[in-house]
A and B are shown apart, each in its own frame.
Chain A
Amino acid sequence: MSPQDSFSTAAAVETQQPAAGPAAEAWLAAEQIERQYDAPSANDAPPTRALASTSLRVEAGEFVCIVGPSGCGKTTLLRILGGLLRPTRGQVIFKGKLLTGPQPEIGYVFQHANLMPWRTVLRNVALPLELQHRPAQEIQARAQAVLKLVGLQGFEHSYPRQLSGGMAQRAALARTLVHAPELLLLDEPFGALDAITRERMNLELLGIRAAYACTAIMVTHSISEAVFLADRVLVMSQRPGRIVAQIAVPLPSPRTLDLMGAPEFASLTREVRRVIDRQHV
């Protein structure tokens, strides 16, 4: 990512007024955002269109999952929603303001754990608070509490390379939760895990989201994971990606793993799959 592609951190002040319209009332709204990546300057290849004109609206408290084929622009979309990447066209409105850069209320969990290998688990989780110059005692207490929540107590002083993949992802989740974001953006956080660990992490994620009362947008490859977690599943087309369908998931909460055996769960996953398959013909 070249520097001019990303927002500068200093420019995170919102001065511009968003265009008036119905979208301005949504909690989070993306309006016809597009993104293309320029080819490396050396060759004359055309730029990659990663995201075609995409609009979406998310209300506070929702859990939205995004599914789509690999390379269709899911990470690109999520990075734009998190203020980490500038759309080449269109705009994102977050809580009535134009999104111009990373926000303290938005927490981002990367596709891989992305921990600092030279910091212990505790110090990795403490990083966001450390950057805010919180008092040491508060940092310690809050980091410990959130590590307990994700089930990593006893591993405070381990280094990332001593953790399993699932534990590393939990530590990454804890690091994002420690500053209590209102909006949680998750980019295939459990993509590298085995099915059993993944189901357990999904349950934990639902519990955590209930505890923090945050809104979540999660990218995933797994249709059943999407249906299990989400209130709404958005399906993206192949690259250049755009949202081609949304499927409401009116399953009761709190959800348990038993739900996966229920007939309505099966019919919902079938519906999502049908929408995806329609894209591939």
Chain B
Amino acid sequence: MPKMTADAPLSGAKASTRRLKLEWLLAPLMLALAILLWDALVRWQQYPPFILPAPALVARKFAAVVRDGSLWYHTQLTLLEIFAGMALGLSCALVMGYFLAKSRRLERLLSPYLVAAQAVPIIALAPLLVIWIRSPGLSKVLIVALTIFFAALINTIVGIRSVQPDLVSLMHSLQASRWQILTKLEIPAAMPVLLGGLKIGVTLAVIGAVVAEFVGADRGLGYLINLARGILDTPLLFVALATLIIIAVLLYAVVSLLEHKLLAWQRIQ
């Protein structure tokens, strides 16, 4: 153990990366274990495939629908709905949240209605929206947007309000314009909360898209689940579910990566 003191911080860093690697391994290991247990359960209880298909059967189905292109056909539309719905919901929430954060009066005026709107389950509202809005694409995008809107709105308000008043004073003393205060103070200060909200938002958006497709659709992963259930093709249902999970995990990972990049300063001790 030469150069003890000089090595101390370095070895600390090494240990933490090792711990990180272990954490990365842990999740796939858990997954493998779960699949093994699932397989054992099916073998032991001899379930028919429409109740609980074996993992191998699901995997084969997965390969088949990937090969014939039908999985991508449905996934494509669901992804589109998710992205368009998030874009719409987030931009409305950001703009509205900003003004609500700035004006207590506006907040007092609108918050009862916002809370009331949030209390109506989206699943009850979705059929209505489908009836009211002729364009099936638009109604689904709107349902996704509504699903994430409230969480995004609250996070925007909390984020903008988290700005230190003395930093606002500083910006005033430096004669910053309103735009400069927004871009150089309010947005960076709110970023941790905003990204936290986005993490919740992406998973909600996936749920929103499925809800929208349940209500009325002839394409999409939600539709695929409905279809598979109707014809008792449980392996297909599992494939659609797995795809949804993969989408949610990937979206979450993208936001986490964004967080890692944008909030590097927060990790400094």
Contacts and interface: CB of A to CB of B under 8 A. Distances in A.
A82 interface: yes
Interface string A208-236: 00000000000000000000000000000
B173 A131 contact: no
Contacts of B170: 108, 110, 114
B172 interface: yes
B265 A118 contact: yes
A112 B101 CA distance: 25
A114 B175 contact: no
A147 interface: no
A7 interface: yes
Interface in A30-88: 79, 82-84
A209 to B, nearest CB: 19
B185 interface: yes
B169 A131 contact: no
A116 B174 contact: no
A104 interface: yes
Contact of A9 (B164, B176, B268): B176
Contacts of A130: 184
Interface in B100-152: none
A127 B184 contact: yes
A281 interface: no
Contact of A110 (B166, B180, B188, B268): B166
Contacts, number: 66
A112 B166 contact: yes
Nearest to B180: A131
B166 A114 contact: yes
Nearest to B165: A1
A224 B168 CA distance: 32
B178 to A, nearest CB: 8
A128 interface: yes
B188 A84 contact: no
Interface string A100-126: 011110111010101011110000000
B265 A12 contact: no
Contact of B188 (A101, A103, A118, A161): A118
A114 B167 contact: yes
A130 B177 CA distance: 12
Contacts of B173: 82-84, 102, 106-108
Given A9-B175, A131-B175, A110 B169 contact: yes
B191 interface: yes
A84 B169 CA distance: 7
Nearest to B170: A114
A6 interface: yes
A64 B18 CA distance: 57
A162 B174 contact: no
Interface string B199-229: 0000000000000000000000000000000
Contacts of A6: 169, 172
A265 interface: no
A95 B166 CA distance: 26
A248 B174 CA distance: 32
Nearest to A114: B166
B269 to A, nearest CB: 8
B174 A127 contact: yes
Interface of B: 164-167, 169-178, 180, 184-185, 188-189, 191, 263, 265-266, 268-269
Given A6-B172, A9-B176, 18 more contacts: A9-B172, A9-B177, A101-B172, A102-B173, A102-B174, A108-B169, A108-B170, A112-B166, A114-B170, A117-B265, A118-B189, A127-B174, A128-B174, A130-B184, A131-B184, A159-B265, A161-B268, A179-B174
12 contacts: A9-B178, A84-B169, A84-B172, A102-B173, A114-B166, A118-B189, A131-B174, A131-B176, A131-B180, A131-B184, A159-B265, A179-B174
List 9 tightest A-B contacts by C-beta distance, closest first.
A108-B173, A102-B173, A118-B265, A128-B174, A114-B166, A118-B188, A159-B265, A131-B176, A159-B268
